[in-house]
Amino acid sequence: MPTSSSRFRVIGLLWLLAVSVLTELVVLRTVTRTLIHIPGLGEFEAPIRFLAEVGRFAYYVAAVSLMVTLALLALVGLRSRLPRHVGIGAVTIAFLLVAAAGRIGVVPWPIVGWSALALLASAGLLGWRGVRSLPVGLFLAGSVAAGGSVAVQGVGNGLTGSQMDILIWIAEWCFVLAGLTAPLLLKKSPSMAAWAVGGAATLMVIAAFARGASTLSILVLWNVGVPGWLPGVAYALAFAGLVVTAWSAAARGERTVVIGVVLLGAGGVGLFSTYQTGLVLAGVLMLGEVGDRLVPSPRIEPSSQPAYVGSPTDRVAAGAAVPLVVP
């Protein structure tokens, strides 16, 4: 039987991953990339270099934490008696092996890229649980579109300009719609406080686009994987949806939702690297049943709990009565 100390270690690992990923995203991928384009900062070279080192350290911590988290999620899936959970565990193990093989150069990059996309799509299909999975499905559709537009360039004659544009438009819309529908991930409707914070986030992003749309479009491309062709208000609303979801989940103790949203947002929909693709995969799993089994969510009132769809056998097989926490 899992102990409270083992559960504490797992939760601590997940928060370490989320915090290090956010630090790496903000410091290394956003701030340092922005500062180097600002003229007249030569006299601040030392503090900027220190800031970059902080970001790199956060990246190393995030990369190690990510591998351990994926291994734990794979173990949870493989130990389940539900076939789709076992399938998710096998998919996660396959991703870790493909990523390792690509890192040491045993497998060519195009194969790694296509394999990663196929495994992401498989994890999404295996973890699908109706309307609540819609934001994740949209995000993965954007990942397949954006990542496929890159991976296919190494196959045959590649794509024409118009074909590339279609895939990028699909990726843009899927990413924005995933953000707008993110509150569906919650067990209950967002609170008024969360909506207020989301409104403030919307105004902040709209103001930022109004002052420097070109700079923000480049940051969206670098960090998310889409060129920012849609109006700034679309990204503002998508960001607000993620903020509303994370705020409500944090207030109610839904830790898997908070961590899953952070990992998806930091991973983006572009096929940048196995690190960012791994963040997306971990986010998908944290927002599904495997994540719930790794870190059980707090109980909610019976009146607000949705009815379980499935047979009693499936319920027992899914571990609904006794959630599994890896020691």
Q: Report the alpha-carbon distance of residue 54 to residue 214 in Å, rounded.
A: 27
Helix, strand, coil share of the chain (percent; to 5): 75, 0, 25
CB 152 within 8 A of CB 176: no
Minimal CA–CA distance to 143: which of 291, 267, 274?
267
User: Which of 213-217, 225-229, 263-267, 284-288 is predicted least confidently?
Assistant: 213-217
pLDDT more than 70, % of the chain? 84
- Which residues make Cβ contacts (< 8 Å) with residue 73, sequence separation at least 6? 88, 89, 92, 282, 285, 286, 290, 291, 294
Minimal CA–CA distance to 282: which of 61, 6, 73?
73
User: pLDDT digit string (tens) for 129-173?
Assistant: 889 899 999 999 999 888 878 777 666 556 777 888 898 899 999
Confidence band of 303 (pLDDT split at 50, 70, 90): very low
Quick one: pLDDT at residue 112? 86
Q: Report the alpha-carbon distance of residue 59 to residue 139 in Å, rounded.
A: 23
User: Which of 73-82, 97-106, 241-250, 270-279 is predicted least confidently?
Assistant: 270-279
pLDDT more than 90, % of the chain? 46
Three-state helix/strand/coil letters over 168-208: HHHHHHHHHHHHHCHHHHCCCCCCHHHHHHHHHHHHHHHHH
- Residue 296, pLDDT above cutoff 90: no
What mean pLDDT is predicted for residues 57-75? Answer: 95
- Residue 315, pLDDT above cutoff 60: no
Three-state helix/strand/coil letters over 15-65: HHHHHHHHHHHHHHHHHHHHHCCCCCCHHHHHHHHHHHHHHHHHHHHHHHH
Quick one: pLDDT at residue 221? 82
- Which residues make Cβ contacts (< 8 Å) with residue 133, sequence separation at least 6? 124, 127, 287, 288
- Residue 25, pLDDT above cutoff 60: yes
What mean pLDDT is predicted for residues 271-281? Answer: 87
